[in-house]
Amino acid sequence: MSELKDYVDLKADELKLRTTQGLSVATGRLVAALLLVGLLVIVLALLAVVLIQWIAQWTGSLAVSSSIVCGVFLLVLVVLFLLRKRLFRDTFVRLFIQIFYGDGKA
């Protein structure tokens, strides 16, 4: 009976270690992704300002150039919304399956 208790304790410890490893990898990837998204937002904002100024030289109006850049961003947003399942949900499901049930090389 003592061997069975030891076996169950070892399996419980293994489960705790695998869960801790999976959560630490997932947290690390989440933090890295958030940093990258933050940098991407800054770059896109600066790019938008540059594009607005550049297009304003052609059109002669900041309002028109701002509307053009806003339209481009809205178009990108619509495309991302339409492809959200393929781009985001399926990707994250595969990522978490790999982290929690993979071969341990995460």
In this prediction, residue 71 has a pLDDT band, given cuts at 50, 70 and 90, of: very high
Among 29, 26, 21, 73, which residue's Cα sits nearest to residue 47?
Answer: 73
Residue spans of the domains in the chain: they are: 2-101
**pLDDT exceeds 50 at position 106:** no
Q: Is the pTM of this model over 0.75?
A: no
Residue 57's pLDDT is what? 95
CA angle 84, 30, 92 (to 5 degrees): 35
Residue, of 27 and 50, whose pLDDT is higher: 50
